[in-house]
Each structure stands twice: as structure tokens, then as C-alpha cells.
Structure 1
């Protein structure tokens, strides 16, 4: 082990590391400028993810009391043929180029094998890393460990103002905001809509609560489209906002995290109507900007949908993969 990494203290992450994790991620943001700021509550929510096995599949490096690097694995609740686990991690800018990142990636791949054997041992295992394209050193590090780029995702912004789109709700459909009584309809439409998305798996109720209906969830900016006559849900849009981003930048960003149409109702303008309705809503609610992320290779034309609604690309992320 290189001298610097040997001098650090290494152990699995725990929920009690939420503050240290937020401090590390915010230090990373100052260097990488990917638009992700964190509160302690945000990082705690990630640490209690039911599909992140911290004891078996996480590792953090400490220089005294300061966390200077981490990795954690998130396994899939369900999978067919291929089990794609996500390896997330980062290194403090002051500790880069000294072997910490390489040690974390190697530990992450080893941990992925452990959780894979526990949950989907009969399937093929692929380890995924999702990082902004411009971060220095990431490509070289991942290539040195055998990862290859397999997908690109565009991040898009829409500055809100007077020029918000005005596409109407399609005839025979009605729109409603999120409510507790409709929550299961939101989740079921999301799962149906994302069934043929690359690398998407159904969100079980516990993952839905952890990843979606958490402190970043904005119920008054989340909408469901139903068939007016029958009440059948056919389209969904979910908005989330990170208060730490607003506090740091002064910009209230409405992130459209989920936009989907049930496969049986595609081709009717459902997604476009939802996006336009949500843009008008968040503009009226005082947001400064809307944002979204799209798979550049999506066969459903997601990039075109957002571009027609007035979004413009600002950043690109790369999905790196290693078949183990």
C-alpha cells in the first residue's frame, strides 16, 4: 500500500458519518463543480438506503477526524440476467493523486462481489460508476482498473421566466398534484414507465421512500396524469430540490427526477404535457431554474422532449462499467 494510504485510518461507513460525509462531498464540489451540495440530512438519507450494505460494502478513509475518501456499493433489489451494482465514491481534493482513489475503487469491486453473491449469485455482475465527464483523473483511474465507458447522460437546465411553454393537457386526461392517497399510483406508473429504460429496475416501496419521498421531495411540484373517465394513472413527474444547493448558489432549482408515461399510453403527448405543466407550476412557485438528466441513447427520445420544452445541455456524465 502506498505510504499516504497506509497512514490513513480505514473503516466501513456508518450512519454516524453523515456530517463527515457531507463535509467531504462539499469539499469535492468546490473542486469538481458538478452542482451537488449536501446537508448532513442529505448524506444521512443515503447512508440509510436499504440497498446499501455499509458493513459489507463500504469503506471510508480518515485523516484524523476528517473523512478524505469513501466508497459504497448499492445493489439492485431485483435483476434479470445482469446485476448492475453502483459504485459511488470520491476523494478530497487535497488527497488526490496519492493512491486513495485507486484503493477505494479496488475495494469497491471486491465489495460488489460480496453483495452480488448474497443477492443475485446466478446472474452476471457488472459494476457501474457514474461520474461527470470533466472531473480530472477519473477516466485514467477507471480505465486502469478495467472500466470502459458504456453510456452518456446529459444534464440540462431551463431558466424559468416569462417564456414557459404552454402545451395543454391532452383531451380525456386530467392532472393532479401528489397526495398521500395517490403515492402508490405515482410509484406504479414510474415502475411501468421505466420498465424498458436501460438499467432501470422497479422501485420497491422502501427504496421509493428512501430515494424519492424524502427531504428533497416537493409534493406541490409533482404531478400525475389520469384518464378522466376511469381514473387510470398514465403519466408521472416527480420534482426534487436540494436545499444545500440553494443555500450555496442562491438558485432554487426544481430537478425533474422522474418523467414517465405508461407504455400503453405513449404517443399522446403525456410526458410533454407533464413537463410543460410542471415548468409553469415551479415558475409560479418561485423557482429560478428547472433541470433534468437524460440518457443520450434513450430510444424514447427524452433529450428531444426536454429540448423542445426549452432545456439546454450544460454537462455530461459518463457511465463506466466493469464486468466482473
Structure 2
């Protein structure tokens, strides 16, 4: 670890740190009123898939984590995503800036190890929280994309589920997981900010405890039986406590490129919305890339979703020494 965090103690996390690390993340989320935050199971997935030196914890004199940072390198592109945060009691001490510089240094080492000449370091935050944007801008990052958080009330006038005659709507059961992974990779191959999912990362995604199988669906062709579209949904009970709404969330929605324009995404989302409501939810929610080229934003607006918040994606191209 080359970044200087003195006078504080900083080190890579260990598996036994998961409870305290998750506690720090939850505390920051509470302080910032974030819509979602990582739980212990997400940190377990980190240790299963990444080198612990891809993360750092900053500790107080009692060994309590007060700040954290992490990087995740894309496997097929010179892109490194960052995550992190600082306890409110430790803000305005320069900890966040040191974390961001550590992330840039770590990203550079990862990129150099892969033989890249440069690596794009990306960060994202809720637009309502202004301080990260000021920090990113001061470190030379620029906004390259926006993501929209969209909500739909689950009152009267829910959409009907209309599936074309050539397709069959089925619940997403575990035996569909691998076919759905391959379909997801095909559906998102040309999407900005997406890379193929391997079996391990996909297993963690669909196996997350927040995933609701009863709200998750697939569409198959009646002739041949190939899967052509899917909807993965989740429920975070903390949303109710923190924000006062019961939310059914669309994690992923995808259609094979050869089957777009046939109303399949509308059918899946319409059925999901009805299932959210039947389960007692009062809000349907999702996030969408504002630059999505498939017309997703218009699709969601047509189903009465409305933008309630935005999140900028910041990027800095870090040149590596030859």
C-alpha cells in the first residue's frame, strides 16, 4: 500500500472484518440517506472474487473502521470502478482524498500488470450528495454519464401483461440461471458500462438474499424453447425503514437483440409491477442509463415510471508509465 494515510492506521481488510466493515457502510448510508448500500453478503462476495489488497480500511485508535475504499477491475477492458466512503465524524480531515488517490494508484498498478498504457478510473454517487462531486472534480475527474433512478407508484391503473403468441412467460427458477447469464451477456454486449458476467459473479448476483424469485421472470420462444428475455427483481427491507416506502426493484431487464421491438420488455415489466403490488409493495423502482440506446427510458416512462433522482458517473484516464 503506497498511499500515506498517517497518522491513521490503514490496511487491507480481512474476512473477520466483514461485520465491522458492513457496519461502517451501513452507518455512512444512514448518514447520507443512500437508497441502497452493500451488506455483509456483498463483502463476502468481494473476498470470494477479488484480492483483498483491492480494498483498504482506515481505522481509528480503537481499531474501528472509519473509512473504506475499494476498486474492481474489469476483466476485458481497461476500466476500474471505485467504491468507498467516510464516516461523518471523520469527514473534512482529508481522508476521502487520500482514499481516492489510493484508488487511482491501485488502478494504475492493476492496469500496468495487464500491460495497458492507460486505465479509466470511474466513480459514481447520488447527485443529492454534493461533496463527492467536488472531490472528484478537484482530482481531475469529469462526468461522462448519468444514471436515472425511476419510481412508479403501485396504485390503481396497473399495466396489463400482454405476451405475444410465440412466447411463453415463466417464473425464473434456478435451472434457468445459466441460460439467463448467457442471454444477459448477449443483451448487454453493446451497452456502455457493461462487461460479460462469468459464472461466479453471476451466481453471486442471482443468489443474493435480496433477490425475489417470485418477482423474477423469463420469456421463452414456444418454438424451440430458447430464452429471449428476462427480469430479475429484488427487495431491500431497509428501504422501508430509511425512506418510508416498500419497494419492488428491477435489478436487470434484458431482451435478446434479435427479439427487440416486440413488446417483450413491456410484458415482463408489466407483470413484475403487478407482482410487486400483489406482494404489498407501494413503489416500483429501477435505475437506467440516461444514454441507453435501446429506448429503455421511453419504455419506462410509457409504464408511468418517473425520474426521481440522478447519479453522475465520473471518469479519469490515468496514464501509466511504460
TM (norm. structure 1) is 0.91
Q: Is the 8 A contact 1:53 1:74 kept in 2?
A: no
2:70 pairs with 72, 94, 98, which one?
A: 72
* d(CA) in 2 for partners of 1:58, 1:243: 27
Task: Give 1:316's aligned residue.
Answer: 310
Distance (whole Å) between structure 1 residues aligned to residue 304 and residue 207 of structure 2 = 27
Q: In the TM superposition, what whole-angstrom CA distance separates every residue of 1:145-179 from its partner, at most 9, and x where no partner exists?
A: 11111000000112223321114112211111111
User: Structure 2: where are the runs of 5+ without partners?
Assistant: none
Equivalenced residues, count? 314
Q: Residue 150 of structure 2 aligns with which residue? A: 156
2-side partners of 1:144 and 1:46: how far apart? 32
Establish whether residue 15 from structure 1 lines up as the match of residue 15 from structure 2: yes
Q: Distance in 2 between matches of 1:180 and 1:146?
A: 44
Give the alignment partner of residue 80 of structure 2, picking from 73, 77, 85: 85
Q: Does the 8 A contact of 1:38 with 1:245 survive in 2? A: no
Q: Which runs of 5+ in 1 are unaligned?
A: none
Q: Aligned pair in 2 of structure 1 residues 211, 182: CA closer, same or farther (>3 Å)?
A: closer
Partner secondary structure for residue 7 of structure 1 = coil
Q: Is the 8 A contact 1:37 1:245 kept in 2?
A: no
* Pairing 1:128–2:122 present: yes
Q: Residues of 2 paired with 1:252 and 1:37: CA distance? A: 16
Q: 1:257 to 1:49 in 2, by over 3 A?
A: farther
Greater mean deviation of Cα atoms: 14-23 or 248-257: 248-257
Match of 2:99 among 80, 101, 104: 104
Alpha-carbon separation, structure 2, partners of 1:180 and 1:149: 38
Alignment check: 8 A CA contact 1:224 1:235 kept: yes
* Cα deviation 1:217-262 (Å, max 9, x = unaligned): 2111111111112111111110122233345455332210111110
Aligned equivalents of 1:222, 1:49: Cα separation in 2: 25
- TM-score by length of structure 2 reads 0.91
For 1:182 and 1:161, locate their aligned partners in 2 and report how far apart those are by CA, in whole Å. 31
For 2:99 and 2:280, the matched residues in 1 are separated by 41
Listed one character per residue, the Cα deviations across residues 107-133 of structure 1 (whole Å, up to 9, x for unaligned) are 001111222233x32464101001111
Q: CA RMSD of the aligned region, Å?
A: 1.9
